[in-house]
């Protein structure tokens, strides 16, 4: 296995019943360790999938929209793209809500290592960075960098207090189970970067951004964005790049966010603005109680 990526697309190769009986494929190298694989199968079952894995040498694959791949299309989730476009997501939120966040506190939950450049860029959009983690001992290096750069921050795993005041939360990699014991501002806006959708308690009334829709300039003559999931296709372009390098590429490609989405529906400016206002009102009430 290496860094090659294979794009699987259906092409009819025989007439009539022969196309259903005989399995055939054709590989076209399209540059930069990427390959277009044309196969004469529309539906990917276990047997066909095993053949594809053998053809692609167990590398990452992306199926086109004219292939029914079901559970086998899980190499790209679009969440890495969201992580690398997190500043764009924040700016889209600001535009939809009609307010900047320079006086707001950002809450960010993670247990695995995070590119410090992401935290540094986020710190420029918020008053402070509040890290929520159960791996406090493992983030000493990040902590020292935050102190070096004079970034206001806190680190906590207090389930009763850590997220009680959170208006905006970025979940980098935790599953739903991690948040079950936390008291979370019920109108919090959550950006979920975990490939698995977040399932919060029934009392939670906030917004969860699970996906984005993007647009960009495409210069690949072999891969038409209309024939693939556009987010996953772009993610396949940048999956082996670092955050800083990807930001430069995105500017060159004029990659922009068109829409913020929940698990199944588009998030409206009204919904985000209402939750942002409600979370602020609840926070003010808590301050008076204190």
The pLDDT of residue 288:
46
Domain annotation covers residue 242: no
Indicate whether 130 and 274 sit together in one domain.
yes
Q: Could you tell me if residue 224 is inside a domain?
A: no
Q: How far apart are CA 52 and CA 54, in angstroms?
A: 5
Q: Which whole number is the average pLDDT over 129-137?
A: 93
Q: Which domain holds residue 130?
A: 80-211+261-289
pLDDT attached to residue 219: 78
- How far lies 200's CA from each of 28, 139, 172, 181, 197, in Å? 45, 26, 16, 11, 10
Same domain membership, residue 159 and residue 267 = yes
Q: Which CATH number belongs to the domain containing residue 268 in this structure?
A: 3.40.50.720
9 contacts 34 by C-beta, under 8 angstroms: no
- Quick one: angle between helices 116-123 and 243-252, nearest 10? 60
Find out whether 90 and 122 touch, Cβ atoms under 8 Å.
Answer: yes
122 and 52, same structural domain?
no
What is the average pLDDT across 274-283? Answer: 83
Q: Is residue 248 part of a domain?
A: no
Residue pair 118/90 in contact by the 8 Å Cβ criterion: no
Within a domain: 137: yes
Spatial separation of the C-alpha atoms in residues 60 and 62, rounded to whole Å: 7
Helix axes 86-97, 116-123, angle to 10 degrees: 20
Q: What share of the chain in percent tops pLDDT 90? A: 80
Query: Could you tell me if residue 236 is inside a domain?
Result: no
Amino acid 155: pLDDT = 94
Same-domain check for residues 69 and 168: no
Mean per-residue pLDDT over the chain, rounded: 92
Q: Are residues 147 and 102 in the same domain?
A: yes
**Is 249 part of a structural domain of the chain?**
no
If you count them, how many residues does the chain have? 290
Crossing angle (nearest 10°) for helices 230-238 and 243-252: 120
Inform me whether the pLDDT recorded for 117 exceeds 80: yes
Q: Cα 142 vs. chain centroid, distance in angstroms? A: 22
**Whole-prediction pTM:** 0.91
Whether 23 is in a domain gets the answer: yes
| Among the listed residues 127, 132, 122, the one whose alpha carbon sits nearest the alpha carbon of residue 163 | 132
Same domain, 34 and 151: no
Can you name the residues that pair with 198 across neighbouring β-strands? none
Same domain, 70 and 84: no
Residue where a domain terminates, one of 54, 75, 96: 75
Are residues 200 and 112 located together in one domain of the fold? yes
Single out the residue in 58, 75, 92 at which a domain terminates: 75
Residues 10 and 38 in one domain: yes
Looking at residue 284, its pLDDT comes to: 52
> Do 271 and 165 fall into the same domain?
yes
- Give the model confidence (pLDDT) of 219-273 as tens digits: 788 899 999 999 999 999 999 999 999 999 999 999 999 999 998 899 999 999 9
CA 194 to chain centroid, in Å, comes to: 7
Confidence of residue 53 (pLDDT cuts 50, 70, 90): very high
- As for how many domains the chain has, the answer is 2
| Per-residue confidence (pLDDT) for residue 290, from 0 to 100 | 47
Together in a domain, 15 and 43: yes
Alpha helices by DSSP H, listed for 220-268, are 230-238, 243-252
Q: Is residue 22 part of a domain?
A: yes
Band (72; pLDDT cuts 50, 70, 90): confident
Please write the tens of the pLDDT for every residue from 172-210.
Answer: 999 999 999 899 999 999 999 999 999 998 889 999 999
Q: Give the residue from 26, 41, 75 where a domain finishes.
A: 75
Q: At which residue do the structure tokens 């450049």 appear?
A: 117
One domain, residues 35 and 130:
no
- The torsion angles phi and psi of 251, rounded to 5 degrees, stand at -65, -40
pLDDT digits (tens, 9 = 90+) for 241-250: 999 999 999 9
């Amino acid at each position: 296995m290496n860094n090659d990526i294979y794009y699987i697309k259906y092409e009819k190769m025989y007439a009539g019943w022969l196309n259903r009986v005989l399995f055939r494929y054709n590989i076209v190298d399209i540059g930069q360790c990427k390959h277009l694989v044309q196969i004469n199968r529309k539906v990917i079952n276990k047997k066909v999938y095993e053949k594809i894995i053998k053809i692609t040498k167990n590398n990452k694959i992306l199926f086109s929209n004219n292939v029914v791949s079901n559970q086998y299309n899980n190499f790209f989730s679009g969440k890495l793209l969201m992580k690398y476009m997190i500043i764009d997501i924040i700016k889209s939120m600001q535009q939809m809500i009609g307010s900047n966040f320079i006086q707001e506190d950002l809450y960010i939950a993670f247990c695995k290592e995070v590119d410090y450049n992401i935290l540094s860029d986020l710190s420029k959009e918020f008053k402070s960075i509040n890290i929520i983690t159960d791996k406090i001992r493992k983030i000493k290096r990040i902590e020292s960098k935050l102190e070096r750069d004079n970034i206001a921050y806190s680190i906590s795993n207090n389930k009763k207090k850590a997220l009680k005041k959170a208006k905006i939360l970025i979940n980098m990699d935790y599953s739903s189970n991690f948040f079950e014991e936390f008291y979370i501002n019920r109108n919090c806006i959550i950006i979920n970067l975990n490939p698995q959708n977040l399932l919060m308690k029934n009392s939670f009334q906030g917004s969860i951004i699970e996906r984005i829709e993007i647009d960009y300039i495409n210069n690949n003559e072999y891969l038409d964005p209309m024939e693939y999931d556009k987010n996953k296709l772009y993610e396949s372009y940048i999956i082996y790049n670092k955050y800083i390098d990807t930001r430069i590429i995105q500017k060159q490609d004029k990659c922009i966010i068109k829409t913020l989405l929940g698990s199944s529906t588009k998030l409206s400016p009204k919904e985000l603005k209402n939750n942002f206002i409600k979370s602020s009102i609840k926070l003010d009430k808590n301050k008076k109680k204190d």
